[in-house]
Amino acid sequence: MRVIVCETYEEMSVRAADEIAAVMQARPDCVLGLATGSTPVGMYDELVRRCDAGELDFSPVRTVNLDEYYPISPDNAQSYRYFMNTNLFDRVNIDKKNTAVPDGSAEDPEAECLAYEQKIAALGQVDIQVLGIGQNGHIGFNEPDSALHPLTHLTALTESTLRANARFFSQGEVMPTAALTMGMGTILRAKKILILANGASKADAVATLLSGMLTTACPASFLNLHDDVTLICDGAAMSKVNV
Ligand code: F6R
């Protein structure tokens, strides 16, 4: 695993945008696998800046997102579809028809998961999959458990994730307790993986990831099976790694 330790969140965001830009330059109609949450926000801002400056062209790019709350309407300001529109898609020259996020309003979640897997397969391989990491080591919403799912599935969110994500919800807003998420196999099929982690709250998960071992107690540790993973993090996230 390539590990890039940055001084600041801003530096992390620029380095992450460099990785995406390199893929877009090598293959203009690339497939980007995208994540939500607070970690990639600076990277999206930097990609928007580069698009405004004429350095990046999103018009031929296709995207697939990792996950979506369930149930939730795509118009709900808490949905990951809304997050992607406001943080990236509405700010660059991408064709929204080329962007995929699991449909949190689907009546039949199992059918939606199957259709989502088929959609990803039809796009061919994801060129680069961006990931954040949960405090509990989740990637996408593959939560620590005794067994992990290979494919896109409906999952219950753990107490740890509900607590961590409660910060995005204001009083009175109902937080969904389940989600549709790509599975471990879906994620690991990407050509390249870019995982971002900042802050001391991610230190335990990053230490387990970098131990090189695999454990379902830290789904991110399965990234050790992939031969092209880049971790971009800050010093606080690295603070529990034994060197
Ligand atoms: C988001 C996702 C999650 C987040 C993780 C970290 O699409 O799949 O795995 O990446 O929960 O979230 P933040 O960045 O908010 O700490």
Other CB atoms closer than 10 Å to residue 188's CB: what's the count? 17
pLDDT score for 181: 98
Residue 89's CATH number: 3.40.50.1360
Residue with tokens 């910060």: 167
Beta-strand ranges (E) seen in 122-240 are 128-131, 153-156, 178-181, 192-197, 229-234
Does ligand 1 lie within 6 Å of residue 38's CB atom? yes
Structure tokens at 82: 């809304």
Tell how far the Cα of 132 is from the centroid of ligand 1, in angstroms. Answer: 5
Counting the structural domains of the chain, the total is 1
Does ligand 1 lie within 6 Å of residue 37's CB atom? yes
- Is the full-model pTM beyond 0.85? yes
Asked whether residue 137 is domain-assigned, the answer is yes
Q: Residue 24 belongs to what domain range?
A: 2-234
Asked whether residue 187 is domain-assigned, the answer is yes
Q: What confidence tier does 171 reach under pLDDT thresholds 50, 70, 90?
A: confident
Does ligand 1 lie within 6 Å of residue 63's CB atom? no
67 is catalytic: yes
Asked whether residue 241 is domain-assigned, the answer is no
Structure tokens at 14: 């620029």
Q: Of 189, 190, 171, 183, which Cα lies nearest the Cα of 19?
A: 190
Tell how far the Cα of 133 is from the centroid of ligand 1, in angstroms. Answer: 6
For 49-108, how does the pLDDT look when each residue is reduced to its tens digit (9 = 90+)?
Answer: 999 999 999 999 999 999 999 999 999 999 999 999 999 999 999 999 999 999 999 999
Asked whether residue 81 is domain-assigned, the answer is yes
The pLDDT of 158-171, averaged and rounded, is 93
Asked whether residue 239 is domain-assigned, the answer is no
Asked whether residue 202 is domain-assigned, the answer is yes
Q: Of 40, 44, 16, which Cα lies nearest the Cα of 139?
A: 40
C-alpha span between 10 and 151 (Å, rounded) = 33
Structure tokens at 230: 């880049």
